[in-house]
Amino acid sequence: MTSIATARTVADLRAQVGAWKQAGERVAMVPTMGALHEGHLSLIALARTEADRVVASIFVNPTQFGVGEDFDAYPRGEARDAELLAGAGCDLLFAPGVGEMYAPGFSTTINVAGVSEPLDGAARPGHFGGVALIVAKLLIQCGPDVAVFGEKDYQQLQVIRRLVADLDIPTRVVGAPTARAADGLALSSRNAYLTPAEREIAPALAAALAEAGRRLRAGESVERVEATGLAALERAGFGKIDYFEVRGAGDLARLGPGPIEGEARILAAAFLGRTRLIDNMAVG
Ligand code: PAF
């Protein structure tokens, strides 16, 4: 069994990162909420190519979960996660408790207007405020040269890019390609909630996005492609569909109704039973 050094306090995190920087080493950070899978390990692998040292954080952040969402049920297993991180060549795990991150009297909020408002911002009010807050705190606490986030949470990545630019946080944000199962399903900690029957249906989300990409590239209108995508998810057996939309790749502005020009992203979120799946694909 491989073990990994673990910091529980901001002071310990800063002491270790400070020592590395003093020695001239570059540091990358990979923020996570744990329940690690191959997708997270691919972020660690990418981080290792970007810096001399890699810090991963595990913190299930209460402020990014809405009322009635799965904060309490979110899968937690630090011992297993720590072993995976050590095996992947991560140098330090930062795993603070809630009190370390949100001390009594904590009062600050962050609102990244614009890019955080549509899609998941509309479906999960307050979610991106919580993400922006915790990511700003983690980057300020750790001070990494580079931070790596998965493109699976594409809107989150764009919100973080905006946040880091607006607040002059001296960290370069790197997006990592989505890791997928052999049948195309994007890897996610929440896939663990799927029943065997739901798991059979789940790859239809990636398939619908890929089909939408082909149609857009063939010159079909955004309006038609979105309608076809929604219908494909309904046919496949998805329940509530929060969105299936084609948006501008950078600012996530609404596109259409005609054919696309320039870089676009197709994004979708839909429920299978109680599990909400999200995925996205590039069209350029
Ligand atoms: O993507 C996640 O796991 C989380 O939203 C993040 C970026 C670690 C913030 O809690």
Q: Note the pLDDT tens digit of each residue in 54-87.
A: 999 999 999 999 999 999 999 999 999 999 999 9
Identify the pLDDT of residue 225: 98
CB of 266 closer than 8 Å to CB of 208: no
H-helix or E-strand containing 57?
A: strand 53-58
pLDDT-derived band at 240, boundaries 50, 70, 90: very high
Q: Which residue puts its alpha carbon closest to atom 3 of ligand 1?
A: 32
Q: Residue holding tokens 């039973």?
A: 273
Choose among 236, 281, 242, 277: nearest CA to 260: 281
pLDDT score of 2 more than 90 = no
If DSSP codes are grouped into helix, strand and coil, which group holds residue 183? coil
Structural domains in the chain? 5-176 (3.40.50.620), 189-283 (3.30.1300.10)
β-strand pairing of 241-248 with 92-94: unpaired
Most informative mutation of 43, 61, 188 for ligand 1 (most atoms within 8 A of CB):
61
CB of 86 closer than 8 Å to CB of 219: no
Identify the pLDDT of residue 188: 96
The binding-site residues of ligand 1, defined as CB within 6 angstroms of any ligand atom, are: 31-33, 61, 64, 131, 134-135, 153, 156
> What's the rounded Cα separation, in Å, for the pair 280 and 248?
12
The alpha carbon of 257 and the centre of ligand 1 are apart by a number of angstroms equal to 33
Q: What is the pTM of this model?
A: 0.97
pLDDT score of 40 more than 90 = yes
Choose among 183, 178, 190: nearest CA to 205: 183
pLDDT score of 259 more than 90 = no
- Catalytic residue numbers? 40
What residue type is 268 in one-letter code? A
The alpha carbon of 64 and the centre of ligand 1 are apart by a number of angstroms equal to 9
Identify the pLDDT of residue 92: 98
Most informative mutation of 44, 135, 152 for ligand 1 (most atoms within 8 A of CB):
135
CB of 207 closer than 8 Å to CB of 215: no
For the beta carbon of residue 42, count every other beta carbon within 10 angstroms: 18
pLDDT-derived band at 1, boundaries 50, 70, 90: low
**Mean pLDDT, the chain, whole residue set:** 97
Would you state the torsion angle of the CA atoms of residues 8, 23, 147, 6, taken in this order, to the nearest 10 degrees? -20
Structure-block tokens of residue 112: 């990244």
For the beta carbon of residue 53, count every other beta carbon within 10 angstroms: 22
What residue type is 87 in one-letter code? G
Pick the residue with more confidence: 266 or 257? 266
pLDDT score of 274 more than 80 = yes
Least confident of 75-89, 159-173, 252-266: 252-266
For residue 33, the ligand 1 atom closest to its alpha carbon is 3
pLDDT, tens digit, for every residue of 170-226?
999 999 999 999 999 999 999 999 999 999 999 999 999 999 999 999 999 999 999
